[in-house]
Structure 1
C-alpha cells in the first residue's frame, strides 16, 4: 500500500470508541514506552529501517531505499507498542499514529526472522504484554458461527470490491516463469483461481458421478466447477451471507440439481462421499478441534476415497510459539483460529484417523501475488468501501491485514499447501 501523505502530514483518523474501544484509547505506560523506544532503535538499526518523526526529522541515517516507518504521533505509538506489543503496533496503525509509503516493504523487513527482533535473553518480556485468546472466541460449536460471522458476513458487496469475478477468497495458482516465479496479472486472476480449483479437484479425482463434500463453501466457485464435471456436491458453510450468494450463483448456473449448500458445522456433516475437499478452512478450526476436524473427514469418507486440502501453514516451531498467543489478526480479523504447520496436520491425522498424507505441494509465492492484487484493488476502491458504510479505521485495518499477510508469504514466514490424504496412505 502506498500512502499519499507528505512527510509533514499528520492524518486525523476519526475513531468511534464504541466500535473500536482499544483503538480509541491510548494507554499510559511510560516505562514500557521507554522499552519500546529502545527496541525501535534496535530494530531500525538491525533491519535498516528509516524512522521519520513529525516534520520529516530522522533520528539516524538509513540506507538508500530503506523501508520507511513514518511516525505521526510518536508518543501514542510508543505507549501502544509498549503496552500491547504487536497488538499495539497494529492498533497504532488503525488509529493513524504511523504510516509508510510502502507498507508491504516495511512489514516484509519486520517479518523476516521475527524471533531476532527482541534481544536474546529478553524473551521473558513477552509476558508483560502477550495475552491468551479469550475463551469466547474458541471455535466450539457454539462459538464457531459467531467467529465466522465477524469476518465472512461483513458484506458480500465488500468482498466483491477486491476479489475477482469468481469470488474466490484463497490463493490462486499462476503460471510460472523461467525462475519458477508466479506470473501474476490482475486480468489473469480468474484463470489462476480456476487453475487452483481444478488442481485440487484433480487431486481428489472428482469427475462424473463423484459424491463430493466441500467443507467451507466460500461463495460457491469450487462447487460450481465440481458440478460442471458431473459431480454431486454437498457444500457446508457457517456464513449466512455466503450461503445466500452461493445458492444464487449455483441456481443461475443451472447446477442446483447437482450442488447444494447447507448451513452446517463441519462436525455435523452427514453422509458418505468419494471425495472431500476443503480450501483454507482448517485455519479457522482451532488447535483444540483439529482431532474433531480430521475425525469428521475420516468418518464421511467412503472406502477408497480421497481428501484434498488447501491450507495456509507456518513452520512447526512458530506455530507452537503462537498457539496460545492472542494476536492482532485474531483480535480484529480472524477470531478463533490458528494457522497449522504441515507437521501438525500430519500428526493430527495420524493420531486420530487412518488418513495419511500422500502428497503435499507448496506455492507460497503465489499467495503473495494473490494478496498483492487484492490489496491494490481494495486500496483503489476505498471510496466504495466507505460508501458501503465502513469507516476509516476499518479501511486501515484491512489494508494492514492484507499487507501483513502478503509480507508473511514474501518472507516465507507463511506458506500454502495443497495436501492429499487417503486412508492408510493408499494412492491407487
Structure 2
C-alpha cells in the first residue's frame, strides 16, 4: 500500500503556524526551567540574538532552536505541544538522530515524570489537561477507525523497520547486555514461544488469538499442530497475515477474521482451549476492560488457559492519566490506554472466573527493542519517503519510538506476560 501525501500531511497542517506567546507560555517557560534545572540533562536554548543559554545539571543534550515556539506550544497544549515542537523542529537532540541521544534525554524526564510539575499544580490536571475525544473511545463504532489510524498506514512502512518475523511488540532477549546485537528474530520467537507454552498450545489445541499482528504467532502455533483462529480489525494486517501464513504452509490450520473482540460474546461459550493476545489490551480503552476480560472468560473452554502480553504503567499514574489526551493518543494510537497490573487483577476478579497464575515482567527488554526499531526506521527513511510519508511524519515516528523507549528505560512503563487459569468452583 502506498499512502498519499494528503493523508500524511493533513493531520499536522495546523502546526505550520505556531501559537503566540502569552501568560500560558510564560508559565510553561518557568516550569520548564525549574524542572530542567534539577535534572541530569543539558538543554541549550538558542536565542534570537545568537547567544546560547545552557540549562540542566549535565547529561543527554538537546538544543532548543526556537524557545518561544517551544514554550508557546507547551503552554497551550502541554505534553502534546512538547512533542509537536519536536515535529516542527523547534527542538531536537544535540546529535545525530538514531544515535540514542533523544531517547536518553527522554529517559531522564520519564524517570521524574511524576515530579516535573509541582504537586500544587498537579491538582489542576483535570482542569487544564486535554481530555480524550469521544471519537477515540473504544466503542464498536470507533475501534476499527482507531486501529486503522495506526496499523493500516502501510504494511510496507512496518516492513521497513521490523525484523523478518514482522513482530511489533517487545522481544525477549537472552541477555540485555547484548540485546542490540542479538538475533532479533530469535528474540521475538522466544517471546512468542513462551506465550504459547504458557497457554499450553500443542497438537490439536483450539487456539484463539485476539490481535493478529502480521501472523507470526499464528504461524508458530500452527507449526505446533494447533488449529488457530486469529481476529483483527486491521484490513492491511489481515491481508499480509493471510499471505504470510499461506507462504509458511499453514493456511489449512489458520483462519484470520476481521472481527471485533466483542462479537465473540455472540458465539457459544467455551469454544477455545487457549487464548493468546499480545499487546492488544492497550487499544481497548479503560472503560471496556471488563468487557474484554469477560470475553476471554466466555470463549475459554474448561481447563483452558489465557496468555496475555500487556504494556502496563503504575496504578496511581494510570488513574491520574487514563482519560487524558496525549501525544500518543493524538498522533499514534487513538483511544489507547495502558492498564496497571493492579487494574488487571481487579477487573478479572470482579468480572470473570479467571485468575493470574503466572507473571513475567520484562519491560527492560522493550527499550532495546524500540531502539532497534528506531535505528532501522531512520536507516530506511528514503524508503519511507518513497511510500509517501513526509519529513514531519519521520520526525513524529522517531520521537514516538524514542519517547516510548524512554518510558521503558526509566521503568515508568513495563511489559508483562500474564497467564490466567479459571478459578476452581
TM-score of the superposed pair, with normalisation by structure 2: 0.92
C-alpha distance in 1 between matches for 2:117 and 2:108: 14
Comparing 26-35 and 47-56, the one that deviates more: 47-56
Per-residue deviation, 1:18: 3.5
Per-residue deviation, 1:379: 1.2
Residue 23 in structure 1 maps to residue 18 in structure 2:
no
**1:260 corresponding residue in structure 2:** 255
The residue matched to 2:120 in structure 1 has which SS? coil
**1:33 corresponding residue in structure 2:** 25
CA contact (8 A) 2:219 2:250 kept: yes
**2:415 corresponding residue in structure 1:** 416
Residue 293 in structure 1 maps to residue 292 in structure 2:
yes
Residue 53 in structure 1 maps to residue 45 in structure 2:
yes
The residue matched to 1:377 in structure 2 has which SS? helix
**1:232 corresponding residue in structure 2:** 227
**1:78 corresponding residue in structure 2:** 71
Per-residue deviation, 1:384: 1.2
Match of 1:96 among 89, 95, 98: 89
Q: 1:162 to 1:410 in 2, by over 3 A?
A: same
What residue ranges of structure 1 are gaps of 5+ in the alignment? Answer: 1-14
C-alpha distance in 1 between matches for 2:8 and 2:76: 21
C-alpha distance in 2 between matches for 1:29 and 1:239: 41
Superposed CA RMSD in Å reads: 1.8
Structure 1 residues 282-321: aligned runs within 5 Å: 282-321=281-320
Per-residue deviation, 1:138: 0.6
C-alpha distance in 1 between matches for 2:9 and 2:188: 39
**1:11 corresponding residue in structure 2:** none
Residue 168 in structure 1 maps to residue 162 in structure 2:
no
**1:69 corresponding residue in structure 2:** 62
Structure 1 residues 320-331: aligned runs within 5 Å: 320-331=319-330
Q: How many residues are aligned here?
A: 407
**1:6 corresponding residue in structure 2:** none
C-alpha distance in 1 between matches for 2:102 and 2:348: 38
Per-residue deviation, 1:303: 0.4
Per-residue deviation, 1:224: 0.2
The residue matched to 1:366 in structure 2 has which SS? helix
Q: 1:279 to 1:61 in 2, by over 3 A?
A: closer
Structure 1 residues 23-422: aligned runs within 5 Å: 23-54=15-46, 57-60=51-54, 62-64=56-58, 66-100=59-93, 101=95, 102-127=101-126, 129-176=128-175, 181=176, 183-186=178-181, 188-269=183-264, 270=267, 272-422=271-421
CA contact (8 A) 2:33 2:55 kept: no
Per-residue deviation, 1:259: 0.7
Q: 1:81 to 1:345 in 2, by over 3 A?
A: same
C-alpha deviations, 1:92-127, integer Å up to 9, x for none?
111111001210111011111211111232224535
C-alpha distance in 2 between matches for 1:212 and 1:120: 48
What residue ranges of structure 2 are gaps of 5+ in the alignment? Answer: 1-6, 96-100
C-alpha deviations, 1:53-76, integer Å up to 9, x for none?
237744246545x22221111111
C-alpha distance in 2 between matches for 1:92 and 1:414: 23
The residue matched to 2:160 in structure 1 has which SS? helix
The residue matched to 1:319 in structure 2 has which SS? helix
CA contact (8 A) 1:212 1:277 kept: yes
Comparing 269-278 and 299-308, the one that deviates more: 269-278
Q: 1:263 to 1:235 in 2, by over 3 A?
A: same
C-alpha distance in 1 between matches for 2:381 and 2:9: 22
**2:4 corresponding residue in structure 1:** none
Per-residue deviation, 1:128: 5.7
CA contact (8 A) 2:44 2:55 kept: no
